[in-house]
Structure 1
Amino acid sequence: MDLPVERPITKENHYKVCFVCLGNICRSPTAEGIFQHQVEKRGLSPFFEIDSSGTSAFHEGESANSKSQRTARKHGITLHSKARRFKPFDLDYFDLILAMDNENLSNLKQMASEKHLEKIARMRDFDPQPGDGQVPDPYYGGIDGFENVFQIVKRSCTQLLDKLEPHIQSEP
């Protein structure tokens, strides 16, 4: 996938990424946490703004699912986000909006105008092992489902950051 990077990524003009699932308690907070962790490990935090949201308001204000948190902690990552609903103004604000599955991709595209479509993609568009292109909902899959989602998202986030890093301009 071609990334919508129209300008160098700088500390003053950071790149804004939003990960989106349905309820914003499992997949998207996991993606937010993993991507933030990877950005921090590479010393690139000043260049990014990272968020997550859901296309529904079912869990607004809640912390990430306890199994998502437990799985992330097992890998040295803390999930700090609180669930929020994706809003129309997010389409203008974020540089890249990544849906976890086809349903959420469709929901986002229905909200979007033509100018927003190029910045909306699926998370697994960056997965070197994309499978069916969707990050499965782990909610009913037991702890193994959460580990599977973690590994999918980790691979995808690594690939995404690898593609974004060349656009970073450290010095003016």
Structure 2
Amino acid sequence: MRILMVCLGNICRSPMADGWLRHKTKQHGLNLEVDSAGTANYHVGKKPDHRMRRLSLDFGVSIDELRARQFSVADFDNYDIIFAMDQNNEQNILQLARNNKEKEKVKLLLNELHPNQNLEVPDPYYGTDANFKEVIELLDHATDAFLFNHQLITKQ
């Protein structure tokens, strides 16, 4: 299974979701491919935000090797599930879909944790370290829920 995490700039939320899922894939010996992208091209080629990199290490997850890239139509061909961090990015992705099959791949990540509530992962970019930690913990729980919901692990 191939999973793509998507936010706006691909330097905070989506690389952290990517990092958590990669970490858990390795930890549980799962056969998942994980990547991340942004709907905007603001930070293409750059490392994740320095605060997200620093604070993620406190949780034992390194995202230093990740580099921002922009979401493209080809991602519909390359990924089985495309998780948006919020409704604006979900809509941006859906606008690029060429058919209903591609649209069905696009989901809000937090619906894994809170089904059908369409909650959004808050963007911590203009916030404090506490906001980044809150997002990291939320993404930890959401990626656990994904693995459990898809029966890739047996307990959360």
**Deviation readout 1:70-122 (Å, 9 max, x if unpaired):** 11100111002100000101012100000000100000111112121111000
Q: Give the direction of change, closer, same or farther, for the CA distance of 1:102–1:73 in structure 2 (3 Å limit).
A: same
Q: C-alpha separation between the residues in 2 aligned to 1:152 and 1:131?
A: 15
CA contact (8 A) 2:13 2:135 kept: yes
Of residues 86, 89, 93, the one that matches 1:108 is: 93
Q: Give the direction of change, closer, same or farther, for the CA distance of 1:166–1:139 in structure 2 (3 Å limit).
A: closer
Any runs of at least 4 consecutive aligned residues in structure 1 with deviations exceeding 2 A, and if so which? 128-132, 163-167
2:79 counterpart of 1:94: yes
Partner in structure 1 of residue 16 of structure 2? 30
Alignment of 1:146-165 (within 5 A): 146-165=132-151
Aligned amino acid, residue 40 of structure 2? S
Partner in structure 1 of residue 124 of structure 2? 138
- TM-superposed CA distance for 1:129, in Å, is 8.9
- TM-superposed CA distance for 1:130, in Å, is 8.6
TM-score when normalising by structure 1: 0.83
CA contact (8 A) 1:17 1:95 kept: yes
Partner in structure 2 of residue 77 of structure 1? 61
In our comparison, the structure showing a higher alpha carbon Rg is 1
- TM-superposed CA distance for 1:164, in Å, is 2.6
Aligned amino acid, residue 146 of structure 1? F
TM-score when normalising by structure 2: 0.91
**Structure 1 portions without partners, runs of 5+:** 1-14, 168-172
Aligned residue for 1:139, secondary structure, equals coil
Q: C-alpha separation between the residues in 2 aligned to 1:129 and 1:141?
A: 27
**Deviation readout 1:23-67 (Å, 9 max, x if unpaired):** 0000000000001111111111xx111000000000000000011
Q: C-alpha separation between the residues in 1 aligned to 2:102 and 2:151?
A: 22
Q: C-alpha separation between the residues in 1 aligned to 2:116 and 2:16?
A: 18
Q: Give the direction of change, closer, same or farther, for the CA distance of 1:50–1:142 in structure 2 (3 Å limit).
A: same
Q: Give the direction of change, closer, same or farther, for the CA distance of 1:118–1:132 in structure 2 (3 Å limit).
A: closer
**Structure 2 portions without partners, runs of 5+:** none
Q: C-alpha separation between the residues in 2 aligned to 1:129 and 1:116?
A: 21
The number of residue pairs the alignment matches comes to 151
Q: C-alpha separation between the residues in 2 aligned to 1:154 and 1:166?
A: 15
Aligned residue for 1:63, secondary structure, equals coil
